[in-house]
Structure formats: C-alpha cells, structure tokens
Amino acid sequence: MQFGSVPTVDVDALTSEDFLLDVREDDEWEAGHAEGALHIPMSEFVARYGELTEAAPADGKVHVLCRVGGRSAQVAQYLIQQGVDAVNVAGGMQAWEAAGRPVSDGKGGSGTIV
C-alpha cells in the first residue's frame, strides 16, 4: 500500500517484533501510546535523529506512527531519503486503537488517543 509515494502498512500487518517510531507531540504521547515504541516528536525529529539510528534495528524496517498518518508519512519520506527502510502506518494510533491494540499511558494504565 502507498500513501502518495510513501510505502504504507496497515496496523493489522504489524507484529510485536516490529520497530515502532511514534512522531506525535509530547501531550499526545503521554495520553496514550504503543508500548515499546520509540518517541521522537516530529517537531524535534531532525535534531534528535541520532536517537533513532541508535535504537532502530540495523537490518529492520522502521514503522512510523502519528495520530492518523499525515505527520508519520512526512517522517517516513524523510527517513527513506536518508536510506532508512521506513513505512508509514496507515491510520496511525487511531487505527491502532480501533484494531484493539493496547494503548499505554506509560504509568501502568490504559491510555487514550488524543
């Protein structure tokens, strides 16, 4: 699947082994996120790019999430331009939650998507 020229994957295709990058802002992340995802807000992404290169698997795909898929598509496109194997997660965290995937508040409770 493609979002414009950016490769896209549906939430249903993701496994627990997939590397997730959440590019939503801090307040969105704190309200609810996918457990184990790396959080780097889009507004800070270029400055914090090194955090991704340290955390991402060298031979794996980076699955980029935001709320609905717009910001993550932009970040995925940037990553592809940097030579990273990246895909946009269609529907973002709204699709994640709608698919019944767990959403964490990072404090041991259930989160919400804002």
Give the residue carrying structure tokens 């270029």.
46
Domain formed by 2-98, architecture: 3-Layer(aba) Sandwich (3.40)
Rounded CA separation 91/70 (Å)? 9
What is the mean predicted confidence (pLDDT) over 59-75? 95
CB-side neighbour CA atoms (13 Å) of 43: 5
Query: Which positions are catalytic?
Result: 66
- Where in the chain are the domains? 2-98
Average pLDDT of the chain is 94
Give the residue carrying structure tokens 């627990």.
16
DSSP structure class, residue 12: G
DSSP code per residue over 25-47: -HHHHHH-B-TT-EE--GGGTTT
| 19 pLDDT more than 60 | yes
Lowest mean pLDDT among 1-10, 21-30, 73-82, 85-94: 1-10
What pTM, to 2 d.p., does this model score? 0.94
